[in-house]
Chains A and B, each alone.
Chain A
Amino acid sequence: MSIEAPGPPRPLAAPSEPELETLVFDETLSTYLRQTLQKIRGGQTGVLPLLVGLGIVVIVFQLKASLFLSNQNLANLLTQASFIIVLGFAEVWVLLLGEIDLSVGYNAGIAGALMALMSSAPYNLPWFVAILIGLAASAIIGMLIGAFVILLRLPSFIVSLAFYLALYGVLLKIVALDNYNGSITLSSSKLIGLVQANLPTTAGLIVVIAAVVGASILTVLRDRRRRASGSEVVPFAITAAKVLGLAAAGALLLFVCNANRGVFGIVEGITYAVPIFMGILVLWSFLLARTRFGRNIYAIGGNAEAARRAGVSLGWNRLWAFTLAGLTAGAGGVLYTSANGGATGNIDTNLVLYAVASAVIGGVSLFGGRGKMFHALLGGLFIATIYNGILLIGYDAAVQSIVIGVVLLAGVSVEALSRRRQARS
């Protein structure tokens, strides 16, 4: 201890030392949970209402129709969900920009019809070439829609409505070519098998385990890197819970799909549609979350003028997003056509609009900038569940349509209310 020598008085208002510590996120689990609870009370409910809704719907359907939770029906539901989900993914690209694309359903139809056409006589192209042609056509259509919206500054609602109508006509023309009489049956077993065939059970087991383990390792490694670098992280318990949730989903998938669900013969395994849409989910989520392009899409959807002033090219980024929406719609069309064993002009008109509905019900904001691909997965599963369950109970398409309409309205209402609550708090 030494007595300080008298000196000139210290300046009173010296700029304070940078206080780094005060910025570091408090990462204890209880704080995290408390904050999450606060967020939920404040209106940032996330996917919670959706999960609750899904739970209720599943219980109701199971009580009304005991077959609902049978392996056979669940596998069937997954197939139906696959193209709704993929169309939802397509919609997310444009919704994030604050735009909308009503035409993804018929754009999907075009991809499917072209694929069917190209794989049949007289073209007889290999199955993957046929797929690529379909996807390319859909991507170009998406790009065209984007070009009209961007270059002519037209509302995407109107442009895509015009494409909705026109593409339907084009679809009818394609399936009437060469005297197909309104439908082109798939002849390639590969193309039919995309959705209708299943992974061998051991292969399915390996794929699911590899995916779950791989994703878990990546998640934990990322978490550790963030900790090491001093970045804000969620509590480890939350990371662990996510990993467990993923493992549970994988186990459920295997439990449902790898059991024999055949009535007359053995039918088992996961439909190829599942790895396809999961692959798209991973790829698109990666683009959105990890690349500059993805960041730009969110920025444009949040505040286009701010993004522009930050040097973000509005035109190119939006054009790419519209193109990717088209491409993704095409992938949905490939699955839909495969599931039906061929292409026809009479796609369920409701199905065409489920794309928008699934993304929005899943929690993607209609006003742009908020939402993830994952939300379309949940929304698509939800819609497919209703779609499937209502028919199973014995109601008809009319009831189905009414219920999904009501659910959509409820979904956007919840979003609107939570926005108001957020604005107030």
Chain B
Amino acid sequence: MLLSLRGVSKSFGAVHALQDVDLDVLAGKVTALVGDNGAGKSTLVKTVAGTWQPTSGEIFWKDQRTSIRTPRDADALGIATVYQDLALCDNLDIVQNMFLGHERLRFRLLDENAMERAARGTLAELSVTTVRSVRQLVASLSGGQRQSVAVARAVMRDAQLVIMDEPTAALGVSQTAQVLALIRTLADRGIGVLLISHNLNDVFSVADRIAVLYLGRLVHSGDVAGYTPQRVVEIITTGTLATAAT
């Protein structure tokens, strides 16, 4: 087990965004986390990414109890995250954003050439060919291009767990296919992927396991083979399965 949450809760004042959530993410598998708007998916992501601390509950990394207090802790464990809001700096260029917090150094100074080469390579792998220059400011990119940069930024790390909060929401058809293919590749390389998506087609085409959040509770989880899109929709909207599986 790469990452396990046990009884994790997170409250914002009176709002219980997460309640008693148990979730397992396996290495080499794509775990899809689905749920309606406001179900608590992004809250869960940020809890694991160290953006904030859970109100209660335990997090296990490789079966060891751990606490992820800061984004740096998550990074040190080997967790890379694509946030729903992308978390990019508009005033920096693509390369600078992709390496923010992980700049390559040479004689303790920024090694811009090495970073630019690596960034260009990763973008090419993702077939991001529509950007004019990797040295243009992120402010000047389209929504989809920004999302591509955020995804590239996360997969460029040698992470063991990659969390993606709606990584394809703004992407075109071919870029989406590219990102899904990449997610598969990551998993096949033995990396754990936690994918949040509203697109069940994507989920069913790429995920191995599925977990459903409903109003902050994790109401269902298991192998994707045990579900159909119709059943998942029902769980997402009602929180339970009224009709027995046939």
Contact = CB atoms under 8 A, between A and B. Distances in A.
The finding on whether chains A and B are genuine partners in a shared complex, rather than unrelated, reads yes
Interface of A: 13, 15-16, 18-20, 22-23, 25, 225-226, 229-232, 290-292, 295, 298-299, 301-303, 305-312, 368-370, 422
B109 interface: yes
A295 B46 CA distance: 24
Nearest to B100: A310
A308 B181 contact: no
Given A302-B90, A306-B88, A291 B110 contact: yes
A306 to B, nearest CB: 4
Nearest to A22: B129
A226 B113 contact: yes
A302 B101 contact: no
Interface in B63-114: 70-72, 75, 81, 83, 87-92, 96, 100-103, 105, 108-110, 112-114
Nearest to A233: B135
A305 B96 CA distance: 16
B123 interface: yes
A346 B124 CA distance: 62
B162 to A, nearest CB: 15
A306 B89 contact: yes
The residue among A20, A301, A310 with the most chain B CB atoms within 10 A of its own CB is A310
Contact of A232 (B71, B133, B177, B181): B133
Given A225-B113, A309-B49, A19 B124 contact: yes
Contact of A25 (B88, B109, B113, B133): B133
B127 A18 contact: yes
Interface in B131-174: 131-135, 139, 174
Among B88, B100, B108, find the residue whose CB has the most chain A CB atoms closer than 10 A: B100
Interface of B: 49, 51, 70-72, 75, 81, 83, 87-92, 96, 100-103, 105, 108-110, 112-114, 116-117, 120-121, 123-125, 127, 129, 131-135, 139, 174, 177-178, 181
Contacts of B88: 303, 306
A295 B103 contact: yes
Contact of A231 (B51, B116, B129, B132): B116
Contacts, number: 113
Contacts of A310: 71, 87, 100-102
Contact of B129 (A23, A299, A308, A370): A23
Given A231-B117, A302-B89, A307-B89, A13 B177 contact: yes
Contacts of A15: 127, 177-178, 181
B178 to A, nearest CB: 6
Contacts of A290: 109-110
Given A303-B90, A369-B89, A232 B101 contact: no
A306 B91 contact: no
Contacts of A302: 89-92
Nearest to B73: A311
B100 A229 contact: no
A231 B181 CA distance: 28
B126 to A, nearest CB: 9
Contacts of A311: 70-72, 75, 101-102
The listed residue with most A CB atoms (<10 A of its CB), out of B91, B103, B178, is B91
B117 A230 contact: yes
Contacts of B120: 20, 23, 230
Nearest to A310: B101
A232 B100 contact: no
Given A20-B121, A295-B92, 9 more contacts: A19-B124, A226-B112, A229-B116, A229-B117, A290-B110, A295-B100, A303-B89, A303-B90, A369-B90
Contacts of B116: 229-232
B87 A303 contact: yes
Contact of A20 (B71, B92, B112, B124): B124
A16 B127 contact: yes
A369 B88 CA distance: 13
A232 B135 contact: yes
Nearest to A367: B91
A225 B89 CA distance: 27
Contact of A306 (B87, B110, B132): B87
Contact of A23 (B91, B134, B178): B134
A302 B93 CA distance: 11
B113 A312 contact: no
A15 B103 CA distance: 30
Nearest to B51: A309
A307 B72 CA distance: 11
B201 to A, nearest CB: 15
Contacts of A20: 120-121, 124
Contacts of A307: 89, 100-101
Contacts of B91: 298, 301-303, 368-370
A395 B83 CA distance: 58
Contacts of A308: 71
Contacts of A291: 108-110
